[in-house]
Structure 1
Amino acid sequence: MRAVPQFGERRPDKVYRDRPAAFGVLVRDGQVAVVRIVKPAVPAYFDLPGGGVDEGETPELAVVREFGEETGLKVAVREPLTLADQFFIGSEGVPWNNRSSFYVLDLVGEDASLKVEDDHTLVWLAPHEALAALRHDSQAWALAAWLRR
């Protein structure tokens, strides 16, 4: 069993709950799909599309579902990419340790009816721009792992 890299700062005054999560790397015309997220009382930030794995759901199903909810794009998992964990304080103030699976995805189509997260906007960035923009080091690390392939 290989070690999974841990990112983020674990603050001693917080109790972090493990959160299974899945994120995807989707490339179109040399650009990487990211989402710009705007929430009240925090500066806008960028993430790879994806999120929490629901009870009874596989990470592969979660990344497809989350991608649609955040971007309106229909995707399929091509292959697993890597694993990484990230301590962070969510925008609602809840401390999490994202236990993330990352996947390389293929674009299947567009379906605007899938998009339900109004605070997420799909943005296409050059890979190195995305590396610099991503909020979480674990996501930038996974994207760098994809680039090095």
Structure 2
Amino acid sequence: MIRRYGEPVRPGQRYRRRPGVYAILLDGDQLLATHQAEPIPEYQLPGGGIDKGEHPIAALHREVFEETGWSIRIDRRLGAYRRFTYMPEYDLWAEKVCTIYLAHPVLRRGPPTEAGHTAVWLPAHQAVGVLSTPGDRAMLAGLLG
């Protein structure tokens, strides 16, 4: 069973399963995160949904590049969690199945290509308190011990 974080399931609400991949990107004691300005400003682990027919690792490389402008080296899968949420940008009630990987930034290729995203470096221990989703915070806290 995959642990659930965030708001409770709403009785009677239909959710569509949306698998996604996200990266904890460490360089020493610094975390490379993304700041998304809309629909509400928040710090996030870079990543996102896996497109139909796309391999999860290819999706992770694509999403991290789009949201940070960096190429990465993936070390290992850390785990997964799920959360039930409304995604206003897609007008979708989603059961997000979030798989988290440990990775390292290798090469900055330019600015983020996804509108509204800014790459930011945060002290990793500070990031535990500012990442927007409880599941992301728990995965980072578990990694940092």
**Fold conserved between structures, TM > 0.5:** yes
2:104 matched to which residue of 1? 106
Q: 1:125: Cα distance to partner?
A: 1.1
Contact 2:125–2:144 (CA under 8 A) maintained in structure 1: no
Give the 5 Å matches for 1:1-149.
Answer: 3-9=1-7, 10-39=9-38, 42-92=39-89, 93-112=91-110, 115-148=112-145
**How does the TM-score come out when normalised to structure 1?**
0.88
Deviates more, 1:135-144 or 1:67-76: 135-144
Query: How far apart in 2 are the matches of 1:8 and 1:58?
Result: 26
Over residues 96-138 of structure 1, what are the superposed CA-to-partner deviations in whole Å (9 max), with x where a residue is unaligned?
Answer: 111111101122211117x321201111111222111111111
- SS of 1:61's equivalent in the other structure is helix
- SS of 1:26's equivalent in the other structure is strand
Q: 1:32: Cα distance to partner?
A: 0.8
Query: How far apart in 2 are the matches of 1:132 and 1:14?
Result: 30
Deviates more, 1:7-16 or 1:73-82: 7-16
**Sequence identity of aligned pairs in percent?**
30
- In structure 2, list runs of 5 or more residues that go unmatched: none
**Runs (4+) off by over 6 Å:** none
* CA-based RMSD: 1.6
- SS of 2:127's equivalent in the other structure is helix
- In structure 1, list runs of 5 or more residues that go unmatched: none
